[in-house]
Amino acid sequence: MTHSLPPANERRPKSVYGIGEEPDVRFSFANERTALAWIRTGLALVAGGVALTTLTQFTHGQNVLLDLVAVIACIAGGCLAVVALASWRRNERALRLNAALPAPVALVWLVAGILVMTVCLGGYVVYNSVVSV
């Protein structure tokens, strides 16, 4: 029963709705929520960057390393939002073609990036506390 759906040629993007057949609507909803969860992950990175900026502004005012990390976190967050939209399209296409879902490529990059950043910031904290003793 597709009585309330708009005609296929009016649904955007055409690269998604022009192919395959209508999947179980629950799967489409799940794909939508997955994309939103990725977008929120990106937002969390931006929030981390903004928090770091706030921290540097309210303490020393000038800290080149923390500023750099904040810029990188914000840019990575913006990139994740773009990746979220791209993966939504890929997943929705796979759902409509009844194909296997593609692997979440961004996950590896996200985890690797967060690990590198954790090690760097942790090292910086240890270095600072050793120097100040």
Partner 1 sequence: MDRWFDRGLQPERTALSWQRTGLSAASVSIVTAFIAVRVGLSAVAIAAVLVATTAVALALLRFPRARVHVSGLTDPWPVLLRVGVIVVAAAVLGALVPSYSFVSSLLSSAGVQ
Residues that bind partner 1 (CB under 8 A): 1-2, 4-6, 11-13, 16-17, 22, 24-26, 28-30, 32-33, 35-37, 39-40, 42-44, 46-47, 49-54, 56-57, 61-64, 66-68, 70-71, 74-75, 77-78, 81-82, 84-85, 88
Quote the least distance from Cβ 41 to partner 1, whole Å: 10
Q: Which one, of 39, 40, 45, lies nearest residue 71 by Cα? A: 45
Angle, alpha carbons 73-74-78 (nearest 5°):
115
Taking the complex as a whole, how short is the minimal distance between the CB of residue 105 and partner 1, in angstroms? 17
Q: What distance in Å separates the CA atoms of residue 30 and residue 10, rounded to the nearest whole number?
A: 23
CB of 23 to partner 1, least distance (A): 9
Cα 86–89–95 angle (5° rounding)?
140
